[in-house]
Structure 1
Amino acid sequence: MNTKVIKRQKIRYRIRKKVAGTAQKPRLSVFRSNSDIYVQLIDDTNGTTLAAASSRDKDILAQKGTKVEKSKLVGVALAAKAKELGITACTFDRGGYLYHGRVKSAADGAREGGLQF
């Protein structure tokens, strides 16, 4: 298998040892593919996804802009869904990716939308 993928998985496991989400303070998980980004609010105690947003959602897909700009819109969209559920705080799980570029942009968008982490 690709060594880059294995290296990211090891980092991801190391992060997941420390970061966990509850119903009151869920985990904001980020997955980044080559073309898209997906973010979820996860309650690890019940093993459920409370809210999710991605760059493949119709309203974000219709927007023009770079992948970094769309990532920010994804973060804002997730924060809006969280606000509807009454969630104001979360923990951030970067998923083994560097906190830079699209991952940072999604986090900044979520903060702008009102999530605290």
Structure 2
Amino acid sequence: MDIRIKATDYELTSEVEVYLADRLSALEKFIGGNADIARCEVEFGRDAGRPRHGKNIYFAEMRVISPGENDVYARNNSESVNGAIDDVKEEVERQLRKRKRTNMSYVRKSGAMLKRLMRFGRE
């Protein structure tokens, strides 16, 4: 999977990059056969609208682009960059699981219909 990282108002360190690569490796099994040509765009950084609250709030957003299927997008805020990355990864994983489950349901239904037609012919 091609991973593109963009940091906004944040210094990208090697620890964060390794942490992000570790989290994204778990998503490849949900993409299926398109994992080689799929692209994951990740943007994270400090949220510019939050300094008046006295806390540093970080955001992470992720878009998984797989050819032939709808894009998966999620955005989340947290008090740490790692927390924001974890939250957005869980949301993207949930969406990818749902998409894979839906696709498998269609495959099973069409297979059952074909089996029924082959067994009894047209009715």
- TM-score for both structures, normalised by structure 1: 0.38
Which of the pair has more CA radius of gyration? Answer: 2
- TM-score for both structures, normalised by structure 2: 0.37
Q: Could you say which structure has the higher helix fraction?
A: 2
Q: Could you say which structure has the higher strand fraction?
A: 2
